[in-house]
Amino acid sequence: VGTSTLSPGDVWATLAGDAPSPLARLLVLEVRLPRVLAAALVGANLAAAGALMQGITRNPLASPGLMGLNAGGGLAMLIAILAWPHISDAMLFVALFVGAAGGATLVFGTAALGRGPASPERLALAGVVVSGLVTSITGYVVLHHGMTQDRLSWTAGGLYSIRWAQVAASAPIGGLGLVGALALAPQVTLLALGVETAAGLGVHPGRTRAAVTAAVLLLVVSSLALAGPVAFLGLMVPHLTRRLVGDDYRSVIPVAMLLGATLALLADLAGRSATFQGAEVPLGVYTALIGAVFFIVLARGLRTGRGWAC
């Protein structure tokens, strides 16, 4: 398991309550199991959040990373920790909510500065600019305040030193967001057809968007608290999911959750297995490498009018 070797039999025996040694129990139940659950929750949260955002905005480039939620929440969390070293979990989540909402507001406000309605390309460009600026500020804060390895890993989208306490604090928030995403799936399907069509079929666009926004914030905040800003997962997974199951969000949301959890687990496993100068590679590095290529292909397809092709 990671840099410590346990046979599959030892792992299963430990999970069944018959650990072959105290070390096996410690590694499996206290180190690896919370990390596996955290990775799965992060992947499911971001995939569901991205699907909701793309559905209600009808923007194929919408995602927590490109819309500024990840960057804004991450900066707010670091500032809160530095300003109040003994800040409670509740207040830390408040800081994440405020930062994520502020980042998204700044992106949409920047995109609205130009003439005419904000196109998907303009919104994506505003997201890249704002997220880059906020991420640079975050990097400055990290470099000038002696961050520990787990905090440095967090800023790159990592699960270094995750323990049960962090999972227990974040899981209820993420779980509430996932339940909300599943409940809102029928309305999002109709909104994706257009506001007038949805209204004609009995959907209240304003209330639905407000509910979706609340669900997205819950999902993103839960993910940020566990792993920091994980790039592009919320962009890629909804597109891959729609290629598999179509445009009905009653299918898109649950399948995206499963696919997102699987990809996050694989990325975290790769990060634990491939170390760089003795330190593991955060899962956010792998999602960023793959996601950057995906984003270029997607944006190119939109610009040429061919849509997304894989």
Write the DSSP string, 190-259.
HHTT-HHHHHHTT--HHHHHHHHHHHHHHHHHHHHHHH----SHHHHHHHHHHHHH-S-HHHHHHHHHHH
Distance CA 46, CA 216 (A): 9
Comparing 137-151, 157-171, 196-210, 251-265, the range with the smallest average pLDDT is 137-151
pLDDT band (50, 70, 90) for residue 205:
confident
- The predicted pLDDT at position 201 comes to 86
Question: pTM of the predicted model, to two decimals?
Answer: 0.85
Domain extents in the chain: 31-303
Contact predicate 237/263, CB 8 Å: yes
- The predicted pLDDT at position 188 comes to 94
The answer to whether residue 144 scores a pLDDT higher than 80 is no
Encoded tokens for 166: 């962090």
280 DSSP β-pair partners:
275
The answer to whether residue 2 scores a pLDDT higher than 60 is no
pLDDT band (50, 70, 90) for residue 185:
very high
Comparing 173-182, 246-255, 275-284, 289-298, the range with the smallest average pLDDT is 275-284
pLDDT band (50, 70, 90) for residue 261:
very high
Q: What is the mean pLDDT of residues 75-94?
A: 86
- Mean pLDDT (the chain) is 84
The more confidently predicted of residues 120 and 148 is 120
Question: What residues have CB less than 8 Å from 34, skipping those under 6 apart?
Answer: 162, 163, 164, 166, 167
Comparing 50-54, 69-73, 79-83, 214-218, the range with the smallest average pLDDT is 79-83
- The predicted pLDDT at position 309 comes to 40
Angle, vertex CA 289, rays to CA 175 and CA 35, nearest 5: 35
Report the candidate in 148, 147, 155, 159 with the shortest Cα–Cα distance to residue 226. 159
- The predicted pLDDT at position 15 comes to 81
Quick one: DSSP state of residue 287? H
What is the residue type of 149?
Q
- Residues of the chain above pLDDT 90, percent: 36
Q: Which long-range contacts (CB under 8 A, 24 or more apart) does 175-178 make?
A: 176/218, 177/45, 177/48, 177/49, 177/215, 177/216, 177/217, 177/218, 177/219, 177/222, 178/44, 178/45, 178/48, 178/219, 178/257
279 DSSP β-pair partners:
276
Superfamily (CATH H level) for 31-303: ABC transporter involved in vitamin B12 uptake, BtuC (1.10.3470.10)
Contact predicate 241/256, CB 8 Å: yes
């129990």: which residue's tokens? 25
What is the residue type of 20?
P
- The predicted pLDDT at position 149 comes to 55
- The predicted pLDDT at position 1 comes to 46
| Number of other CB atoms surrounding residue 116 within 10 Å | 7
Q: What is the mean pLDDT of residues 61-86?
A: 87
Q: What is the mean pLDDT of residues 72-101?
A: 88
Question: Coil, strand, or helix at residue 84?
Answer: coil
Q: What sign does the CA torsion over 36, 39, 44, 47 have? A: negative
Report the candidate in 106, 139, 126 with the shortest Cα–Cα distance to residue 228. 139
- The predicted pLDDT at position 310 comes to 36
- The predicted pLDDT at position 302 comes to 61
The answer to whether residue 80 scores a pLDDT higher than 80 is yes
